[in-house]
A and B are shown apart, each in its own frame.
Chain A
């Protein structure tokens, strides 16, 4: 079975836009600037503008937009903060972009139950600011100040996942607007899946192709008594990677453990003005717990890094020092861009079983060296997930082709090693072919689910699940 979608006629689009203008007034915007801004994420610029951007404020308003679009067979694309990387937001067939940035209420915080309910447009930084007084925090940190709705729809993770899990493990329930414009509520406050199927998990990571997530019930955590960050440098990349593998196999409960290769470290030192480091393979680490527990974790890690010839630790215990360190890590992409003026870049997202990580990174590095392109490696290596940022000259067709080739090879190497082409960025439009390689016939079932839940294929058509 194939999925199909035809671009709606200009008349049908115009009628829908007019109806939305009538209902939403100046919250239905058709200016070129706003449409352009909503046509892409942070990855490579993909042209493909929506016809109109609407800013709803309630679940019911979202439902009314979707209903209208379903009747007219107009595509619907949900927009959080526009930080996705795989072309999730590109309006392949035009249509209506639903911008969630006016749905920013933290609806409830239950400090004793360690959970909260938020509207989809709440960003993770806003949430953490609003709940700071409770002594609780929401740990998932993909770097960007993404919206909780967007993070749910893409099953985001980031630097804290090794300790706290990904969005998948931290969502108790959702409110979702279905493709026919109904509002459903999945999951319960109880930390036990309720009757029926685990729909919550189906919607998490469905990239807006099955419905629009409008509210999220999230788990929260107590702020640890002590947080300590440390940096350790190595002479060889494999020594740094093997340190991580050993730490994971010993189950040292690291909160974060991030790898930067020599090129990336060089770029980050220049961009973020990190002083006193060398351009060498580096691990950024963070430990959470009681004083005694953190001290013990650090001792264990020091023993491991010493075995692999790691340097002395540089600690950052004060909040501002830690923030500087993690900002430098999260700015790795921009550091890479500044490192190679005039170039563009995109990132791979392989994830492999932890025991294959060293082999996989070595194989990826070999592909990079063969290509002659400047590439940087960063990784949430505690999860087996790493990114190769591949730079190329946008005006040089040959470089672009080589960059695509490297990315494809790295994805396939990961799949051959029992891994995945995408650990956290998602499929979007860029990894549709890799999904087929990875999942084979199972893609048919995903397509059948998509077709069953969204028979008119209006929800973010052309993304996540290959049409054919």
Chain B
């Protein structure tokens, strides 16, 4: 498969043609070039649970990776959303998508130990590897994470694995948005074993996980009501199947500093310890949400699906754009891949 893709990329480069890299959920455009379907390159290359590392090919369904790891009592700690049954592990890395555990465990890039890619010249290259720490040369694996397929085809990824927590409990509290933000931030700073926090429909949901004594102590300390079937609740939230995501008004996703005060009078949900906000507002209000997010140290995207589907350089100044263009040029000198 790799050789075929290399040949396809080399041919496209020679002819000045574009290629589209497709994962499980990629929106394809028939006018945007031939497709490299990453779902043709599947399988777990190496998984020794004792090594705390899993090496997988790009087209492997996320569900397969997770079930193999669950059998060994391990997980991808950044809790990636699937957004449907076709999600590939390569897509998770290319889009840099993390779930509810992200502010507490780390994001995709924090768990990517190494990558193999085919660049825009058709060379198959290997960056990083299987070790927890590596400072040999530039950190290209992290640069590729979230690069939306603009730099090359990610063909293989090695991830750091973590054991599944022994105990888990979710506590529910009746708080207004302001109090919820304050509690999310304070409880985390107090080193409680929190692995997810969401405020929606007037309730704060706090997930605790870890060793049993630690979880029990935190449950006692924080109080609140217990949530039955909490694993299902968090899965629904992560997959955007919660009723909040089903309403008709468009959805704006905002990333901001975690203590930013709630938006006035908006229909909103607060996620990631306060660092991610979901707001329901007409698209006409996009400028307003962008302004708000910028003022609070972040940025906003108006996005019906909730996941990123294209490479964005919104809001980058000239010097940053110039740096981006040089990086793009380094990986993809003939412009075979999309973006920039």
Contact = CB atoms under 8 A, between A and B. Distances in A.
Contact of A196 (B129, B188, B217, B320): B320
**Interface residues on chain A, size class:** 35 or more
Contacts of A426: 135
Contact of A289 (B110, B214, B314, B324): B214
A40 interface: no
A102 interface: no
A188 interface: yes
Contact of B131 (A197, A419, A440): A419
Contact of A157 (B127, B133, B315, B320): B133
A25 B313 CA distance: 41
Given A195-B314, A197-B143, A224-B191, A190 B275 contact: yes
B135 A427 contact: yes
B136 A440 contact: no
Contacts of A111: 189
B162 interface: yes
Contacts of A448: 330-331
Interface string A432-461: 001100111111111011111100000000
A292 B213 contact: yes
Contact of B330 (A245, A380, A445): A445
A169 to B, nearest CB: 5
Interface in B288-338: 296-299, 311-317, 319-320, 323-324, 326-327, 329-331
From A191, A196, A289, A434, residue with most partner B Cβ within 10 Å: A196
Interface in B41-91: 48-53
Contacts of A424: 133, 135
Contact of B324 (A113, A197, A434): A197
Interface in B124-169: 125-127, 129-140, 142-143, 145-147, 162-163
Interface string B100-129: 001100110110000000010001011101
A85 B257 CA distance: 36
A182 B319 contact: yes
B276 interface: yes
A417 B214 CA distance: 36
B217 A195 contact: no
B142 A201 contact: yes
A113 B257 contact: yes
Given A289-B214, A426-B135, A442-B125, A193 B51 contact: no
Contacts of A452: 326-327, 329-330
B272 interface: yes
Counting chain A CB atoms within 10 Å of each CB, the highest count among B134, B163, B188, B314 belongs to B134
A195 B131 CA distance: 28
Q: Which of B185, B275, B311, B326 lies at the interface centre, i.e. has the most chain A CB atoms within 10 A of its CB?
A: B326
B170 interface: no
Nearest to B276: A192
A190 B299 contact: yes
Interface stretch (A265-273, A313-321, A346-354, A370-378): A346-354
A165 B191 contact: no
Contact of A383 (B48, B133, B213, B299): B133
Contacts of B109: 193, 198, 201
Contacts of A425: 135
Contacts of B213: 292-293, 296
A296 B299 CA distance: 42
Contact of B136 (A224, A435, A450): A435
Max count, chain A CB within 10 A of own CB: residue among B142, B299, B311, B329:
B142
Interface in B203-235: 211, 213-214, 217
A198 B142 contact: yes
B195 interface: no
Contacts of B297: 188-190
Given A352-B131, A423-B134, A439-B136, A168 B142 contact: yes
A444 B122 CA distance: 13
Interface residues of B, number: 75
Contacts of A198: 96, 109, 142-143, 145-147
A440 B137 CA distance: 12
A364 interface: no
Contacts, number: 260
A427 B136 contact: yes
B265 interface: no
A208 B143 CA distance: 17
Contact of B126 (A423, A439, A465): A439
A420 B258 contact: no
Contact of A449 (B110, B162, B330): B330
Contacts of B211: 293, 296
B132 A383 contact: yes
Contacts of A222: 189-191
A458 to B, nearest CB: 16
A152 B315 CA distance: 25
Q: Report which residue of B103, B133, B140, B323 has the largest number of chain A beta carbons within 10 angstroms of its beta carbon.
A: B133
Contacts of A182: 319
Contacts of A422: 134-136
30 contacts: A110-B259, A136-B189, A184-B319, A188-B255, A193-B109, A196-B312, A197-B147, A197-B324, A198-B146, A198-B147, A201-B109, A202-B138, A210-B138, A222-B189, A352-B131, A353-B131, A354-B50, A355-B48, A355-B50, A384-B131, A384-B133, A385-B131, A434-B136, A439-B127, A443-B137, A445-B119, A445-B123, A445-B140, A445-B331, A446-B140
Given A198-B146, A199-B143, A439-B126, 17 more contacts: A114-B258, A184-B323, A193-B96, A193-B109, A197-B327, A201-B142, A202-B139, A205-B138, A210-B138, A224-B191, A251-B162, A355-B50, A420-B136, A423-B131, A438-B129, A445-B123, A445-B125
Interface of A: 110-114, 135-136, 154-155, 157, 161, 165-166, 168-169, 178, 182-186, 188-199, 201-202, 204-206, 210, 221-222, 224-225, 245, 248-251, 289-290, 292-293, 296, 351-356, 380, 383-385, 418-427, 431, 434-435, 438-446, 448-453, 464-465
